[in-house]
């Protein structure tokens, strides 16, 4: 059941999804980010992807940490519960929420500061538990909200607005995630809506922790010449390693692909991801291949995008723990409480 | 022979061993045997922060009067650890007994004339009777059980029965254990005048009583409260809460056919994450908790303030240990009151519950979940190492099958049907508590949880008035909490008095005994045991009705006294601290001395 607050006017050309909802119904409140901020484009991609997937708003939860990026859950799907938590700790709240109700579709939005500095630990452990969620890092190489300090994802040599270069190594969330055993790792660019929408869909369908690192330029603090996270730099250096098409369960793979360059990954819910590879020496189902590929392109000064690694069989958190299929918050008290007799019996052993 | 008072069913037996040598089961056996003879007993474990090799003590108090605190005496010391022999000998009360392993001679300088020293060649006996090396070590502990059974007149049939129950699956072990016990028993019978003037005597069967530690009771309370999500990071002395929760969930919450678990226990990466998980789970409507200790609360503080302001039910179990910092992690204190009462930055206040024994751990844990759901705020269960990890005799835990959890103000789709529009933070009932909805149910109930400024609708705000409005309402909720936390328990003196004692948690046993002793000296005191924070009117009345109120607590700075000063407008000089903070459970002597010294000084002034 869904309820829409806005009066419904069917404008010509506006499509409804399977639930009868307009794309507008997947919007949230007005963004307060800077005009041109990459984060807003990601929000728009989320709106489109969620609408196309026909996800019932009430089945979705949106969580985040703190930062400009972490403000964005307020800007999509107003009909979903949201949780803007504390800096760097979104994954733990998502873990608890998912522990309590495994049926919810969970989107976590984070920033490079939020996930790679203060929240680096929680980022790693969400991956380690293979928490069933879409984990988005809106990556701009700076702390936007605290006015432009370098973040841990700033590349060596990349310069700050006033010209000072970053001299430290950057933490690459994609390579880190693959090395830590993530089951779904992808990278995209806020300026590439088409790719982003497909990866969001694939990430949501993936039964585990889907890490999606999105280069998302900060127009106010990190879009100048000398920055390696600017629009211009990213456009010039991104290299599409794979093109992913998400095919829903009921859908049919119709596109024609050249032999040998295509992998189709079937997901547990019957949907599949069709991957078109740019390079024949790259196998995104093999960790060593993915890491090697990333290093090779780093040497070439390129930023590989697309779905970079997938292992759809690695068990997610509840499978590992053996939790009941029914969400824990749906059990009645009678199903949870052992009762008086059991307590009496138990205490016979305590004498 | 030094003069020894006859003490029947009123003695302290202390056993000094080395950590990791398997003495725990021998000590448990002694404790349980005394319990089955109908004698009220408590067992205190004084252990080091170490896995193997450091000294450790177990202190059993048998008290026919049912006193549960440490008394400060040692009537029989079993000194199995050469390293602490001198110290252990010094600790025996005059007229007491010291049992030691005489296989190797002790230095002659180590002796005392006012106690009786009984040497038993335990190692030698074990070496003669057992061939396997590991058995020789383990059976040495069992052998002193035999020695004590003879010396203290402990019923051997009961010991036999206990061993059989323990080793149902391994009857071979019963034989070995019994052999060792016999060996010690026979040696003592042959060489000493048994029983000693200090000994046990069957006085019933302790019907209706159980032996349990507080952490097991707390874990069980979480199961009975219907908690399904537990998140934690291991830390002494709270770890066994989660061990117990796990154990009882395996027992009661695992589907016998499918093996599916109706619970989810997440060992988090740290306490910060554990707190986040508790908030996430409670947000979606699953009862969730985290057991921890002081250092964990420090790490959780940011989330605790978040939960206070965003109004998320959550249960924090603080099994307190000695601080600051790592402090003495295996020693007890009541030292986190200030930390928990106001945990986090900004204006925050949190309800706390103070169980005094494992029975109350069970009861107040269930209460904590009800309060959390009802008040939509973090609730702290303030246990401590003494309650949590020691063995207590308490009346059997009771459960009323008609109990249903209080899930508080939660709206579902049917409620939303009747509403024009749902808003999250508007108080319509005047109790400061607003209505929430659960994710996953209805998009009309969707709202955005945030720690940033929000108004009564739940919208983001930086407007001063809107901010103040919500903060003021939280104070109304605080007043509601005052009426909901468990009230303090009053025990009146037999005679009219203007002297009061106020205590809480594990200091209770010492106060109960001290009051009896003081009354014998003609000092009569009324006693108020605090069980909840914020303080109810009964606490204000108590302070008002007495000229002097002794505040007994186990910390250096008088944290409860500070809270009383901060939260009540009461002349501060009325309050007299009696403090004990050395890490050992407080003794009744400490309370008696504290009260009498103050009164003597006052009389002299
Ligand atoms: C505990 C804590 N420390 C510091 C801050 C201040 N702070 C707010 S946002 C932020 C950085 C956010 O950077 P990022 O995650 O990259 O988000 P962006 O704004 O760049 O999207 C910091 C340091 C905070 N909110 N909490
Ligand atoms: S400061 Fe940067 S990251 Fe923040 S909203 Fe503006 S452009 Fe976006
Ligand atoms: Mg950033």
pLDDT digits (tens, 9 = 90+) for A25-42: 999 999 999 999 999 999
Would you say residue A282 lies in a domain? yes
Q: CB distance A103–B226 less than 8 Å?
A: no
Give the position, in ligand 2's atom list, of the atom nearest the Cα of A148: 1
Q: Is residue A348 domain-resident?
A: no
What is the residue with the minimal CA distance to atom 8 of ligand 2? A37
- Tokens representing B384 are 């401590």
Using one digit for the tens of pLDDT, what is the confidence trace for B233-281? 999 999 999 999 999 999 999 999 999 999 999 999 999 999 999 999 9
- pLDDT for res A235: 97
Can you list the alpha helix ranges (DSSP code H) found in chain A? 38-52, 68-71, 90-100, 112-116, 120-129, 173-179, 193-205, 231-237, 287-299, 317-321, 333-336, 339-347
Q: Which residues contact B448 (CB under 8 A, 6 or more apart)?
A: A73, A74, A81, A82, A83, A84, B458, B460
pLDDT of residue B428: 97
| Residue A142 φ/ψ, nearest 5 degrees | -140, 170
Element (H, E) at B600: helix B588-604
Report the pLDDT value the prediction gives residue A101, as an integer from 0 to 100. Answer: 98
Q: In Å, how far are B41, B69, B92, B528 from B12, measured between CA atoms?
A: 10, 11, 10, 28
Domains and CATH numbers, chain B: 7-205 (3.40.920.10), 212-395 (3.40.50.970), 410-484 (no CATH), 489-604 (3.40.50.920)
Distance CA B448, CA B152 (A): 66
Residue given tokens 């006294």 in the structure block: B561
**A303-310 and A184-189: which strand pairing?**
antiparallel
Q: CA–CA distance from B421 to each of A218, B363, B418, B446 (Å)?
A: 37, 38, 9, 11
Contact A216, A43 (CB under 8 A): no
pLDDT digit string, tens, across residues B487-514? 999 999 999 999 999 999 999 999 999 9
Q: What are B326-370's pLDDT values in tens digits?
A: 999 999 999 999 999 999 999 999 999 999 999 999 999 999 999
DSSP A283-307: -TT-HHHHHHHHHHHHHTT-EEEEE
Phi, psi of B506 (to 5 degrees): -75, 0
Q: What is the pLDDT of residue B363?
A: 98
Question: Per-residue pLDDT tens for B390-428?
Answer: 999 999 999 999 999 999 999 999 999 999 999 999 999
Distance (Å) from the alpha carbon of A27 to chain B's nearest alpha carbon: 13
Residue A160 forms part of a structural domain: yes
CA distance B257 to B105: 61
Q: Do A99 and B280 touch (CB under 8 A)?
A: yes
- Distance, in Å, from the CA atom of B393 to the CA atom of B62, rounded to the nearest integer, reads 11
**Domain range for residue A313?**
23-321
A266: in domain: yes
Mean pLDDT of all residues in A92-118? 98
* pLDDT digits 0-9 by tens, B82-121: 999 999 999 999 999 999 999 988 877 778 999 999 999 9
Band (pLDDT 50/70/90 cuts) for residue B135 is confident
As a dihedral over the C-alpha atoms of residue B65, residue B69, residue B70, residue B74, rounded to 10 degrees, the angle is 20
Q: Please, are residues A98 and A105 in contact by the beta-carbon 8 Å criterion? A: no
Q: What is the DSSP letter of A22?
A: B
Answer whether B210's CB lies under 8 Å from B184's CB.
no
Q: Residue A2: its pLDDT value, please?
A: 42
| Partner-chain contact A323 B253, CB within 8 Å | no
Q: Do B442 and A350 touch (CB under 8 A)?
A: no
pLDDT at B327: 96
At A258 the pLDDT is: 61
List of chain B residues whose C-beta atoms are within 8 Å of the C-beta of residue A103: 440
Encode pLDDT of A268-311 as tens digits: 888 999 988 888 889 999 999 999 999 999 999 999 999 999 99
Instruction: Say what angle helices B122-129 and B171-191 make with each other, to 10 degrees.
Output: 130
Intra-chain end-to-end CA distance of chain B, in Å: 45
How many residues in chain A? 351
Predicted confidence at residue B494, as pLDDT, reads 96
- Per the domain annotation, does A278 fall within a domain? yes
Q: Do B280 and A340 touch (CB under 8 A)?
A: no
**Measured between beta carbons, which residues in chain A are less than 8 angstroms from residue B255?**
324
CB B528 within 8 A of CB B354: no
Distance (angstroms) between ligand 1 centre and the Cα of B41 equals: 55
C-beta of A39 in contact with ligand 2 (< 6 A) = yes
Q: Which residue of A has its CA nearest to B269?
A: A125
Rounded-to-integer distance, Cα A227 and Cα A321, Å: 44
Residue of the CA atom closest to atom 23 of ligand 1: A146
Lowest mean pLDDT among A9-23, A46-60, B552-566: A9-23
CB contact under 8 A, A100 and B228: yes
Residue A331 lies in a domain: no
What percentage of residues in chain B have a pLDDT greater than 70?
100
Residue in B255, B277, B440 nearest the CB of A92: B277
Distance CA A91, CA B531 (A): 35
Nearest to A101 among B270, B440, B460 (CB): B440
Answer yes or no: is A330 within a domain: no
Pocket of ligand 1 (CB under 6 A): A 66-69, 87, 111-114, 138, 140, 142-146, 151
Share of chain B above pLDDT 90, in %: 91
**Lowest-confidence segment of A168-177, A247-256, B175-184, B215-224 by average pLDDT:** A247-256
Pocket test residue of A143, A173, A220 for ligand 1, highest count of atoms within 8 A of CB: A143
pLDDT at A13: 52
In sequence order, what are the beta bridge partners of B538?
A: none
Can you read off the two tokens belonging to residue A316?
A: 């997610």
Give B97's strand partners. B76, B116
Question: Is residue A1 over pLDDT 50?
Answer: no
Ligand 2 contacts CB of residue A144 (under 6 A): yes
Q: How far apart are the first and last CA of chain A?
A: 54
pLDDT of A260 strictly over 80: no
Could you give the number of structural domains in chain A? 1
Nearest to A61 among B276, B397, B439 (CB): B439
Q: Tell me what pLDDT residue B22 has.
A: 79
Residue A174: CATH number of its domain: 3.40.50.970
Count Cβ atoms below 10 Å from residue B568 Cβ, excluding itself: 14
B449 neighbourhood in chain A, CB within 8 Å: 81-85
Handedness of CA A51, A57, A63, A69 (dihedral sign): positive
**From the CA atom positions of chain A, what is the Rg in Å?**
21
Whether the Cβ atoms of residue B13 and residue B59 lie closer than 8 Å to each other: yes
Nearest ligand to the CA of A69 is 1
Look at ligand 1, atom 6, and give the residue with the nearest C-alpha.
Answer: A146
What is chain A's mean pLDDT, rounded?
A: 94
pLDDT computed for residue A3 by the predictor: 45
Q: What would the pLDDT profile of B446-461 be if each residue is shown by its tens digit?
A: 999 999 999 999 999 9
Q: Which protein residue has the closest C-alpha to ligand 1 atom 7?
A: A146
In tens, the pLDDT along A115-150 reads 999 999 999 999 999 999 999 999 999 999 999 999
ipTM value: 0.96
| List of residues 6+ apart from B39 with CB closer than 8 A | B9, B62, B63, B64, B200, B201, B203, B206
Q: Which of A44, A110, A108 is nearest to A75 (CA)?
A: A44
Nearest-neighbour CA in chain B from A148: distance (Å): 21
Residue holding tokens 């052998």? B143
Q: What is the pLDDT, as a whole number, of residue A12?
A: 54
Contacts of B379 (CB under 8 A, 6+ apart): B313, B314, B315, B316, B350, B351, B352, B353, B368, B369, B371, B372
Domain assignment present for residue A15? The answer is no
Largest CA distance in chain A: 77
| Chain pair A-B, CB pairs under 8 angstroms | 233
Whether B260 and A325 lie within 8 Å, measured CB to CB: yes
């Amino acid at each position: 059941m869904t309820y829409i607050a806005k009066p419904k006017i069917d404008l010509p050309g506006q499509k409804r999804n399977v639930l009868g909802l307009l794309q507008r119904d997947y919007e949230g409140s007005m963004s307060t980010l800077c005009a041109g901020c990459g984060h807003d484009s990601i929000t728009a991609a989320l709106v489109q992807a969620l609408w196309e997937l026909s996800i019932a708003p009430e089945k979705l939860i949106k969580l985040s940490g703190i930062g400009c990026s972490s403000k964005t859950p307020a800007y999509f799907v107003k009909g979903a519960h949201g949780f803007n938590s504390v800096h760097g700790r979104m994954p733990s709240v998502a873990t608890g929420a998912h522990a309590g109700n495994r049926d919810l579709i969970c989107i976590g939005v984070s920033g490079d500061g939020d996930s790679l500095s203060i929240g680096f630990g929680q980022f790693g452990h969400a991956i380690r538990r293979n928490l069933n969620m879409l984990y988005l890092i809106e990556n701009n190489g700076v702390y936007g909200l605290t006015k432009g300090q370098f973040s841990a994802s700033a590349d060596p040599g990349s310069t700050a607005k006033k010209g000072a270069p970053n001299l430290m190594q950057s933490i690459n969330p994609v390579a880190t995630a693959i090395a830590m055993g993530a089951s779904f790792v992808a990278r995209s660019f806020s300026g590439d809506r088409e790719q982003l929408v497909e990866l969001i869909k694939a990430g949501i369908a993936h039964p585990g922790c889907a890490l999606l690192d999105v280069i998302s330029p900060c127009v106010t603090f990190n879009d100048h010449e000398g920055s390696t996270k600017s629009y211009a730099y990213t456009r010039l250096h991104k290299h599409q390693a794979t093109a992913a098409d998400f095919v829903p369960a009921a859908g049919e793979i119709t596109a024609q692909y050249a032999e040998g360059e295509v992998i189709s990954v079937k997901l547990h819910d019957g949907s599949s991801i069709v991957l078109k590879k740019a390079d024949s020496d790259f196998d995104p189902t093999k960790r060593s291949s993915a890491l090697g590929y990333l290093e090779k392109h780093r040497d070439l000064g390129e930023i590989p995008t697309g779905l970079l690694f997938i292992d759809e069989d690695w068990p997610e958190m509840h499978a590992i723990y053996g939790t009941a299929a029914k969400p824990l918050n749906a059990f009645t008290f009678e199903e949870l409480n052992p009762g008086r007799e059991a307590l009496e019996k138990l205490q016979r052993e305590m004498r | 022979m030094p003069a020894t008072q006859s003490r029947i069913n009123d003695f302290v037996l202390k056993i000094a061993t080395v950590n990791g040598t398997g003495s725990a089961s021998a000590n448990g056996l002694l404790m349980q045997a005394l319990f089955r003879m109908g004698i009220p007993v408590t067992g205190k474990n004084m252990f080091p922060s170490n896995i193997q090799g450091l000294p450790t003590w177990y202190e059993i108090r048998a008290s026919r009067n049912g006193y549960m605190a440490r008394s400060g005496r040692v009537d029989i010391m079993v000194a199995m650890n050469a390293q602490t022999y001198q110290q252990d000998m010094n600790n025996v009360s005059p007229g007491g007994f010291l049992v030691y392993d005489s296989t190797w001679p002790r230095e002659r300088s180590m002796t005392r004339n006012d106690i009786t020293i009984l040497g038993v060649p335990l190692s030698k006996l074990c070496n003669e009777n057992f061939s396997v090396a590991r058995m020789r070590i383990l059976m040495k502990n069992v052998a002193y059980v035999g020695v004590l059974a003879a010396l203290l007149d402990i019923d051997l049939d009961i010991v036999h029965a206990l061993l059989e129950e323990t080793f149902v699956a391994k009857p071979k072990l019963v034989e070995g254990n019994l052999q060792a016990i016999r060996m010690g028993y026979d040696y003592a019978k042959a060489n000493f005048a048994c029983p000693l003037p200090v000994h046990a005597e069957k006085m019933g069967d302790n019907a209706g009583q159980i032996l349990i530690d507080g952490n097991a009771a707390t874990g069980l309370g979480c199961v009975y409260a219907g908690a399904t999500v537990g998140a934690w990071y291991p830390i002494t002395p709270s770890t066994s809460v989660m061990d117990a929760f796990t154990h009882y969930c395996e027992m009661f919450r695992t589907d016998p056919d499918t093996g599916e678990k109706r619970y989810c226990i997440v060992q988090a990466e740290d306490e910060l994450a554990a707190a986040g998980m508790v908030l996430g789970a409670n947000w979606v409507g699953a009862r969730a908790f985290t057991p921890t200790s002081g250092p964990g609360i420090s790490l959780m503080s940011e989330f605790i303030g978040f939960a206070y302001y965003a109004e998320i039910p959550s249960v924090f179990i603080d099994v307190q240990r000695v601080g600051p910092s790592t402090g003495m992690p295996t020693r007890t204190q009541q030292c986190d009151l200030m930390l928990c009462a106001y945990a986090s930055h900004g204006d925050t206040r949190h309800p706390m519950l103070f169980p005094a024994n494992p029975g109350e751990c069970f009861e107040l844990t269930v209460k904590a979940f009800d309060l959390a759901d009802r008040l939509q705020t973090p609730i702290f269960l303030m246990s401590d190492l003494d309650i949590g990890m020691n063995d207590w005799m308490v009346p059997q835990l009771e459960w009323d099958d008609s109990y249903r959890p209080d899930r508080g103000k939660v709206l579902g789709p049917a409620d939303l049907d009747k509403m024009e529009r749902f808003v999250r933070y508007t108080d319509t009932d005047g109790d400061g508590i607003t209505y929430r909805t659960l994710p996953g149910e209805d998009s009309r109930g969707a709202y955005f949880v945030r720690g940033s400024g929000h108004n009564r609708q739940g919208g983001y705000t930086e407007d001063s008035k809107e901010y103040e409005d919500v903060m003021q309402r939280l104070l109304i909720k605080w007043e509601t909490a005052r009426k909901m936390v468990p009230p303090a328990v009053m025990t009146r003196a037999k005679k009219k008095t203007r002297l009061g004692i106020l205590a809480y948690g594990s200091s209770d046993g010492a106060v109960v005994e001290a009051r009896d002793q003081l009354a014998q000296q003609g000092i009569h005191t009324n006693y108020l045991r605090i069980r909840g924070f914020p303080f109810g009117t009964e606490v204000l009345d108590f302070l008002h009705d007495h000229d002097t109120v002794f505040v007994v607590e186990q910390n250096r700075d008088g944290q409860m006294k500070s809270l009383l000063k901060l939260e009540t407008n009461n002349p501060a000089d009325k309050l007299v601290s009696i403090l004990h903070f050395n890490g050992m459970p407080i003794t009744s002597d400490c309370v008696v001395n504290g009260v009498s010294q103050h009164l003597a000084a006052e009389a002299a002034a």
